[in-house]
Chains A and B, each alone.
Chain A
Amino acid sequence: DVKVTQSSRYLVKRTGEKVFLECVQDMDHENMFWYRQDPGLGLRLIYFSYDVKMKEKGDIPEGYSVSREKKERFSLILESASTNQTSMYLCASSFTGGRSTDTQYFGPGTRLTVL
């Protein structure tokens, strides 16, 4: 089974802090994604990566950055956390190619609260 893990289920940070969210997948997937989920807004893509050291902006990249130094790990960084970044953060990964193209597998989520 595909397994996507996230470093924390719950996180509380203060405004202005630098926040690191870590995601690890164990299926050798090329693609990794960071979304945030807010009530009434559904899932919104922040960033994705299709290879090591490669990244692409999603729909809402402002205030975030990402790092992918190893294939299995994709980090989301909040440079200076703000209260409007309080949200559920979801990591996903997918394999490229074949019939399962674009089937994304999600981690359990990190619920971040910024005070």
Chain B
Amino acid sequence: DAKTTQPTSMDCAEGRAANLPCNHSTISGNEYVYWYRQIHSQGPQYIIHGLKNNETNEMASLIITEDRKSSTLILPHATLRDTAVYYCIVRFGSGTYKYIFGTGTRLKVLA
């Protein structure tokens, strides 16, 4: 089962791009990479997911390396409201529905 490794914490200046890395070196071919975030005392919020190609939506961009062993979530213009814990998750194999949330990266956006 693929596991993920993320830095414990990061700071980013308001208005700048926040680049959050994730390592998932044991990911298998049919597993997706998902990103969620959790603002203090709220439920996790879905951000984006991808398989092989880079993805972009209104919230963020997801860059997946060609070998799929790592990815980067990009918040193009971070705001104070983006301060949260960001979780990188790999779909837990086939036949089950469970996600495994690790400890995530605590992003602090500074004014």
Query: A residues within 8 Å of B by Cβ?
Result: 4, 31, 33, 40, 42-43, 45, 48, 50, 58-59, 88, 90, 92, 94, 102-109, 111
Contacts and interface: CB of A to CB of B under 8 A. Distances in A.
A105 B101 contact: no
A101 B42 CA distance: 23
Interface residues of chain A: helix, strand, loop or mixed (majority): strand
Given A33-B97, A43-B99, A111 B41 contact: yes
Contacts, number: 46
Contacts of A48: 97-98
Contact of A90 (B43, B49, B91): B43
Interface residues of B, number: 18
Contact of A58 (B43, B91, B98): B98
B103 A90 contact: no
Given A48-B97, A102-B32, A109 B103 contact: no
Contacts of B44: 43, 90, 106
